[in-house]
Chain A
Amino acid sequence: MKMSVKLIMPFVNSTINVFTTMTKIKPEISAPHLKEDAHMTYDVSGIIGFSGEIVGSVVVSFQLATAQSLVNALVGMEVDPQSLDFTDAIGELANMIAGNAKKDLGLMASIGVSNVLIGHGHTIGRLSAVPCVVIPCHTSAGDFAVEVNIKPAA
């Protein structure tokens, strides 16, 4: 199942914009690819749902050490990964990535309140009826991924 590049590029641009602006750490992006099986594992994920003319969800996922470094850079100080502040920061990063991309999708959509999943070695499933594209991101603080699992509602 394919996804239009028009739905991917806004998230590529948004990811670069959000991290460069808010953490001063610029991600380098590798070629996005279709996700077939959930074999990549993560420790921390921020999840945002879409509704309206776009349905699905976007997930930004990290290993713990990378998440810690990026959150510390976002907030400007050390944040305990066991704390609510850490969860909140991950949620806000996901919110900004999704929100920043939304305006360039060419369709009217709303984003929900973010959810954050923290658990060593979790996988992110994908909806079978909705294409999912993984955007691999590389930074000086480590690698992370943005998974775009969305489609036009109509």
Chain B
Amino acid sequence: MKILLVDDSRTMRNIEKKILADLGQVEFAEAGDGEEALGVIGATAGGFQLILVDWNMPNMDGITLVNRIRSADKNTPLVMVTTEAEKCRILEAIKAGVNNYVLKPFTPEGLLEKIKHVLPAAA
């Protein structure tokens, strides 16, 4: 399974990698913002089976990235992982097309549970 981690914090990407390694055979790609993520997606043959997206990032934020991805791809599971916890933000992300929403801070179990909801094969 190929997973793309999009967050401007390398610390957060490393934490996510460590937790998601529990899913089994996983290959990770990373991006520090939305623009970089679009480049990685375009350059990756076969695409990704899961993309985790932070909201607040420089150059292109997560919600813009989600909208851009969904304009061409309705199927790849997208999970927002963010500190943005207001109801209006969550609704905005759902309307944009995320499959699940994880609030920071998160426990390993909490993150895995939300991921497994969008990846039935991994549950």
Q: Is the CB of A113 within 8 A of B56?
A: yes
Q: Is the CB of A96 within 8 A of B58?
A: no
- Say how far A86's CB is from chain B's closest CB, in angstroms: 9
Does chain A have a CB within 8 A of B107?
yes
- Say how far B17's CB is from chain A's closest CB, in angstroms: 11
- Residues 75 to 134 of chain A near chain B (Cβ within 8 Å): 75-76, 84-85, 88-89, 91-92, 95-96, 98-100, 102-103, 108, 111, 113
By beta carbon, the residue of chain A nearest B57 is A113
Give me the 7 closest cross-chain CB pairs, A-B, nearest first.
A99-B83, A21-B105, A103-B85, A89-B11, A92-B9, A22-B105, A92-B11
Hey, which chain A residues are within 8 Å of B14, CB to CB?
Answer: 75, 85
Q: Is the CB of A100 within 8 A of B18?
A: no
Does chain B have a CB within 8 A of A135?
no
By beta carbon, the residue of chain B nearest A21 is B105
Partner of B11, one of A88, A103, A108: A88
Chain B 1-16 interface mask (CB, 8 Å, partner A; 1/0): 0000000111110110
- Say how far A137's CB is from chain B's closest CB, in angstroms: 15
Does chain A have a CB within 8 A of B35?
no
Does chain A have a CB within 8 A of B104?
yes
Q: A74 vs B10: C-alpha distance in the bound complex, in angstroms?
A: 12
Does chain B have a CB within 8 A of A145?
no
Hey, which chain A residues are within 8 Å of B83, CB to CB?
Answer: 95-96, 98-100, 102, 111
Q: A113 vs B18: C-alpha distance in the bound complex, in angstroms?
A: 24
- Say how far B61's CB is from chain A's closest CB, in angstroms: 11
Does chain B have a CB within 8 A of A68?
no
Q: Which of B12, B83, B85 has the most CB of A within 10 A?
A: B83
Hey, which chain A residues are within 8 Å of B10, CB to CB?
Answer: 84-85, 88
Q: A92 vs B107: C-alpha distance in the bound complex, in angstroms?
A: 15
Q: Is the CB of A88 within 8 A of B9?
A: yes
| Given A75-B14, A108-B86, 13 extra CB contacts under 8 A | A17-B105, A75-B11, A84-B10, A85-B11, A85-B14, A88-B10, A88-B11, A89-B11, A91-B9, A95-B56, A100-B104, A102-B84, A102-B85
- Say how far A78's CB is from chain B's closest CB, in angstroms: 13
By beta carbon, the residue of chain B nearest A17 is B105
Hey, which chain B residues are within 8 Å of A91, CB to CB?
Answer: 9, 11
Q: Is the CB of A113 within 8 A of B11?
A: no
